[in-house]
């Protein structure tokens, strides 16, 4: 099991959290996602460590910017 925390810019509400969570959940191997708009933090648990570019692409697809790992 692996867990990573990322900073995401642009999230401001529950809809934002849902959009990011939906895209991240679609990544193979992801077991849980927690997006918190108020802090801009995204916590991703997965079976194996995820490639940052894969996470970035999913966040971009949701319409937000991945700043990086925390």
pLDDT of residue 60: 98
Both structure tokens of 1: 């099991």
Cα-Cα-Cα-Cα dihedral sign, residues 25, 35, 56, 10: positive
Q: Give the start-to-end residue ranges of the domains of the chain.
A: 2-69
pLDDT of residue 2: 97
pLDDT band at 1, cuts 50/70/90? very high
Scan for tokens 């529950």, then name that residue.
14
CATH, domain range 2-69: 3.30.70.100
The DSSP bridge partners found for residue 46 are 2, 30
Query: pLDDT tens, 10-62?
Result: 999 999 999 999 999 999 999 999 999 999 999 999 999 999 999 999 999 99
CA 6, chain centre distance (Å): 7
Instruction: Look up the pTM and report it.
Output: 0.95
CB-based burial label for 24 (10 Å; 0-12, 13-18, 19+)? buried
């Amino acid at each position: 099991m692996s867990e990573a925390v990322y900073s995401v810019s642009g999230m401001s509400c529950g809809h934002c959290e849902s959009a990011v969570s939906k895209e991240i959940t679609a990544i193979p191997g992801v077991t849980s996602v927690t997006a918190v708009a108020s802090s801009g933090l995204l916590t991703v648990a997965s079976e194996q460590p995820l490639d940052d570019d894969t996470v970035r692409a999913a966040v971009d697809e949701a319409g937000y910017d991945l700043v990086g790992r925390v």
